[in-house]
Amino acid sequence: METTTIENLFGHFSRKFKIPAYQRAYSWDKENILQFIEDLKDAKEEYYLGHFLFEEDESPNTLLVIDGQQRLTTCVIFFSVLLQELTRSKTCGATVAINIAEIEHVFLRDLVMKTQRFETVTDDNNFFVDEIITPGRIICQQAITASQQRIRAAKDVFSKTCSIGQNVTVSELQRWYQLVSTAHCTSLTVKGKEKAARIFAFQNDRGKELSRFETLKSFFLLQLYLHSSGEPLAEHLKYLENEISSIYHQVVRIRLKEDEVLLNYWRTCIESNGFDSVDVIKEVKQVLRNMEDGESICSWIRNFAG
229 shares a domain with 178: no
- With 70 as the cut, is the pLDDT of residue 138 above it? no
223 shares a domain with 154: no
- Three-state SS for 103? helix
The set of residues, in sequence order, having a beta carbon less than 8 Å from that of 225 and lying 6+ positions away, is 193, 194, 197, 198, 233
- For residues 199 and 237, the model is more confident at 237
- For residues 205 and 185, the model is more confident at 185
Q: Does 195 map to a domain?
A: no
Q: Does 199 map to a domain?
A: no
- With 60 as the cut, is the pLDDT of residue 15 above it? yes
pLDDT at 206: 39
Q: Does 197 map to a domain?
A: no
Of 132, 145, 119, residue with least CA distance to 21 = 119
pTM of the model: 0.75
216 shares a domain with 172: no
Domain of residue 299, residue span: 210-305
Domain boundary among 154, 188, 222: 188
pLDDT band at 207 (very low <50, low <70, confident <90, very high): very low
As a whole number of angstroms, the distance between CA 40 and CA 9 comes to 20
| Helix spans in 162-202 (H) | 170-181, 193-202
- With 60 as the cut, is the pLDDT of residue 259 above it? yes
Q: Does 273 map to a domain?
A: yes
- Three-state SS for 239? helix
CA distances from 54 to 1, 13, 67, 98, 145 (A): 11, 17, 7, 29, 26
Q: Does 162 map to a domain?
A: yes
pLDDT at 213: 84
As a whole number of angstroms, the distance between CA 203 and CA 223 comes to 16
Q: Does 93 map to a domain?
A: yes
- Three-state SS for 172? helix
124 shares a domain with 23: yes
Classify residue 248 by burial, with Cβ atoms within 10 Å: 0-12, 13-18, 19+. buried
Domain boundary among 188, 219, 237: 188
126 shares a domain with 75: yes
What angle in degrees, to the nearest 10, is found between the helix axes of 258-267 and 280-289? 50
238 shares a domain with 176: no
Dump pLDDT digits (tens) for 89-109. Answer: 888 878 888 888 899 999 998
Domain boundary among 188, 222, 256: 188
Residue 54 DSSP code:
E
Q: How many domains does the chain have?
A: 2
274 shares a domain with 175: no
247 shares a domain with 125: no
pLDDT band at 34 (very low <50, low <70, confident <90, very high): very high
152 shares a domain with 15: yes
264 shares a domain with 157: no
Q: Does 170 map to a domain?
A: yes
Mean of all residue pLDDT scores within the chain: 85
Looking at residues 256-276, what average pLDDT do you find?
Answer: 87
- Three-state SS for 278? coil
pLDDT at 66: 87
pLDDT at 202: 59
Of 201, 216, 251, 204, residue with least CA distance to 70 = 204
- For residues 31 and 135, the model is more confident at 31
CA distances from 286 to 201, 217, 271 (A): 17, 16, 10
11 shares a domain with 139: yes
Q: Does 27 map to a domain?
A: yes
Looking at residues 274-297, what average pLDDT do you find?
Answer: 89
91 shares a domain with 28: yes
